[in-house]
């Protein structure tokens, strides 16, 4: 008897573990599953954190990361992928090698640099390899404003600055760039600016939700974009659907813990 169960696209996340569940690989898995895809995951780091901050981490080696990813690629047909926390040069270089050499789709790269709490999550050498080795393999890079400022090398104060930053980041090799403006309200709105590979800009505006610090919004957005791409959406439609998903998640974010609200 033929099964009526429709196959779900497999979406791979390569990211760090937030044991409190608000960000990182747990947020990715929740998002990918909620959006109708099948999550596969490989850990880059086990962090020690909660909603108030990051207190330490045990990073994985290139070998342990490779040992996680290669069996997935050999067994599953991965429809889309994303990367999150890549804390060391060794890990970033291995992730770039995996996406270059293995049968994996171009990833959504969330350039995680600093946590909501202000804790630095990547070292300087890793940051350089991220720009030079992984960005050229990316389907899209999704920096928030502080990350975009670090990548572009100048302050972002306006929508025009967001566009200039997107162009500067695209010049590093990424096919597309989404500069996320949710950390700062623009005329009462949260503005994200997408620069597509053809040089076209698309604006995504939504209500700015003043709910205080939110933990895991960047992870959730990038995972949602990957899920959309895995389901065959265009990049613009995947970004639009992901932004709507995150906006709704922020509206209903629970007050758990003493720090930022986890999604």
- For residues 215 and 260, is the Cβ–Cβ distance under 8 A? yes
Residue 260 in domain: no
Tell me the backbone φ, ψ of residue 249, rounded to 5 degrees. Answer: -65, -40
Using CA atoms, how far apart are residues 160 and 181, in angstroms rounded to an integer? 12
Position 113 scores a pLDDT of 79
Q: At what angle do helices 145-152 and 159-170 cross, to 10 degrees?
A: 50
- Model confidence at 124, pLDDT cuts 50, 70, 90, reads confident
Position 1 scores a pLDDT of 39
Q: Is the pTM of this model over 0.95?
A: no
Average pLDDT for 213-228: 90
Residue 173 in domain: yes
Average pLDDT for 234-260: 86
Residue 5 in domain: no
Position 211 scores a pLDDT of 59
> Which CATH number goes with the domain that contains 92?
3.40.1190.20
Percentage of the chain surpassing pLDDT 90?
72
Residue 82 in domain: yes
Find the distance separating the first CA and the last CA of the chain, reported in whole Å.
41
Query: Domain range spanning residue 176?
Result: 10-253
CA torsion, ordered 63, 49, 147, 237, to nearest 10 deg? 80
Position 42 scores a pLDDT of 98
Residue 179 in domain: yes
The structural domain count of the chain equals 1
């Amino acid at each position: 008897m033929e099964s009526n169960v429709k196959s779900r696209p497999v979406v791979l996340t390569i990211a760090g573990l937030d044991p409190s569940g608000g960000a990182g690989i747990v947020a990715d898995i929740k998002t990918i599953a909620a959006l109708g895809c099948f999550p596969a995951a490989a850990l880059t780091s086990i962090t020690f954190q909660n909603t108030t901050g990051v207190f330490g981490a045990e990073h994985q080696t290139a070998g342990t990361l490779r040992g996680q990813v290669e069996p997935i690629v050999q067994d599953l047909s991965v429809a889309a992928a994303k990367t999150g926390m890549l804390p060391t040069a060794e890990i970033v270089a291995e992730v770039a090698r995996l996406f270059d050499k293995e049968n994996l789709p171009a990833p959504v790269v969330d350039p995680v640099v600093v946590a909501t709490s202000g804790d630095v999550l990547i070292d300087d050498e890793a940051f350089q390899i991220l720009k030079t080795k992984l960005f050229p393999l990316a389907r899209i890079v999704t920096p928030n404003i502080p990350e975009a400022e670090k990548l572009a090398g100048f302050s972002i104060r306006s929508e025009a600055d967001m566009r200039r930053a997107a162009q500067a980041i695209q010049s590093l090799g990424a096919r597309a760039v989404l500069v996320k403006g949710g950390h700062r309200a623009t005329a009462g709105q949260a503005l994200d600016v997408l620069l597509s590979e053809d040089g076209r800009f698309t604006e995504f505006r939504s209500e700015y939700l003043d709910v205080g610090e939110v933990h895991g919004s960047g992870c959730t957005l990038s995972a949602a974009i990957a899920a959309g791409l895995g389901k065959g959406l265009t990049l613009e439609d995947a970004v639009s659907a992901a932004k709507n998903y995150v906006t709704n998640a922020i509206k209903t974010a629970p007050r758990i813990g003493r720090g930022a609200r986890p999604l």
